[in-house]
A and B are shown apart, each in its own frame.
Chain A
Amino acid sequence: MKVLKGVLEEERKRLKSAEASYVREIGKLPKGSVQQKRIKDKEYAYRAYRKGARVVYEYLGKLEVGELKELERKMDLRRRYEEKLREVRENLRNVRRMVRG
């Protein structure tokens, strides 16, 4: 039983540091999505994201294909990390319940 409690406590600590890591990494990544608008045959990029109840469109200008791909990759990673953060918090709640017994 002692070993099992030790494993759970170790896991609780690990999840706490994982939570902090996800929060830190999410903070470094842009939120929202990229939208392209065609004006007079030229494509312009905007970053659309939610700010409270309204949606903000931030003008990014003309982006190179590589820049656009990198931005989309970072946004996608942010969404993935946000999902993982929710899972970490759920696991943390479960472990705390188990430690308390």
Chain B
Amino acid sequence: MAEKEQFAILSKILKRFQAAGILDDLILIGSWCLYFYRLQPGSFEDLPAVRTLDVDFLIPRPQRSKKEVNVPAILEEFGFTPTYHGMSGLVVYDHPELRLEFLIPEIGKGTSRPVSVRNLHVNAQAIRYLNFLSDYTMVVDYQGVEVRIPEPAAFALHKLIVSSRRTKKEKKQKDLESAVGLLELLFENPQGKERVLSILKKLPPKWRKTILAVSEEHFSELNDLYTSS
């Protein structure tokens, strides 16, 4: 698990996706975002560096473009192999150092089956609450590549809400640690606080209620801010 190797592969993939004209249609989410936040000037250098080796790409709904690109063929060039998940039809892409997965916001009643994204030749796992990550994004420059990631405030609130649905204790704890770590840094300045509040207020009331129920126990400053606003 050579860290240098992981970054080198990720960087090559991002460059290749950019050259193929699809990077703008993908949002890098998951624990790798913490690494990109740490690269930003400001107060994010103290973020915990723990991340999984899963690189998650979110495909927004609706898609920004419908450009036809054979993504599995690109990944094959880098030595990735498809890994099939049981009977569901979900395919993820494995490499000795990384796993790449495609996710898509779940809409309507939802389904346990993956969503086929035909123009990219991939299946994406539909997951609830992902649309608010795609609603609040920022672009960071990474070695000359423009990578779209969720804003830290949206990322933190998303981690709070997904932690409420986790059944595995360790995953729940990891979500909460990421969320609280980010919120503590965001609350160090008025703009950060304001951004968290503004996103929180725009969320559907049910989602907001869930977030505030989690934060009550783990980061009550958020509840104080919301009540006083």
Q: Which A residues are within 8 Å of any B CB, using their own CB?
A: 2-7, 10-11, 14-15, 17-18, 20-22, 25, 77, 80-81, 83-84, 87-88, 90-91, 94-95
Residue of A nearest to B51 (CB): A7
Closest-CB distance, A27 to chain B (whole angstroms): 12
On chain A, the residues within 8 Å of B94 by CB distance are 14, 17-18, 21-22, 88
Q: B81 on the interface (CB 8 Å rule)?
A: yes
Of A7, A77, A84, which contacts B95 at CB under 8 A? A84
On chain A, the residues within 8 Å of B79 by CB distance are 80-81, 83-84
State in angstroms the CA–CA spacing of A7 and B174 once bound together.
9
State in angstroms the CA–CA spacing of A97 and B189 once bound together.
43
On chain A, the residues within 8 Å of B83 by CB distance are 17-18, 20-21
Residue of A nearest to B178 (CB): A3
Closest-CB distance, B34 to chain A (whole angstroms): 13
Residue of B nearest to A26 (CB): B81
Of B84, B99, B177, which contacts A3 at CB under 8 A? B177
On chain A, the residues within 8 Å of B84 by CB distance are 21
Closest-CB distance, B2 to chain A (whole angstroms): 9
State in angstroms the CA–CA spacing of A91 and B191 once bound together.
43
Residue of A nearest to B174 (CB): A3
Taking a contact as CB atoms under 8 Å apart, the answer to whether A95 and B174 are in contact is no
Residue of A nearest to B83 (CB): A21
Taking a contact as CB atoms under 8 Å apart, the answer to whether B99 and A21 are in contact is no
Q: Which 10 A-B pairs have the closest CB atoms?
A: A6-B170, A87-B96, A18-B94, A21-B83, A21-B81, A88-B96, A84-B79, A25-B81, A80-B79, A3-B174
Taking a contact as CB atoms under 8 Å apart, the answer to whether B1 and A6 are in contact is no
On chain B, the residues within 8 Å of A94 by CB distance are 1
State in angstroms the CA–CA spacing of A93 and B171 once bound together.
24
Residue of B nearest to A8 (CB): B1
Residue of B nearest to A10 (CB): B52
Q: B53 on the interface (CB 8 Å rule)?
A: yes
- What are the interface flags for B127-155 relative to A under an 8 Å C-beta threshold, 1 for contact and 0 otherwise? 00000000000000000000000000000
Q: B173 on the interface (CB 8 Å rule)?
A: yes
What are 19 A-B residue pairs whose CB atoms fall within 8 Å in the complex? A3-B174, A6-B173, A6-B174, A7-B50, A14-B53, A14-B94, A14-B99, A15-B96, A17-B94, A18-B83, A18-B94, A20-B83, A80-B79, A81-B79, A83-B79, A84-B95, A87-B96, A88-B96, A91-B1
Q: B82 on the interface (CB 8 Å rule)?
A: yes
A11-B174 contact given A17-B83, A21-B83, CB 8 Å threshold: no
Q: B76 on the interface (CB 8 Å rule)?
A: yes
Q: Which of B61-93 contact A (CB under 8 A)?
A: 76, 79, 81-84
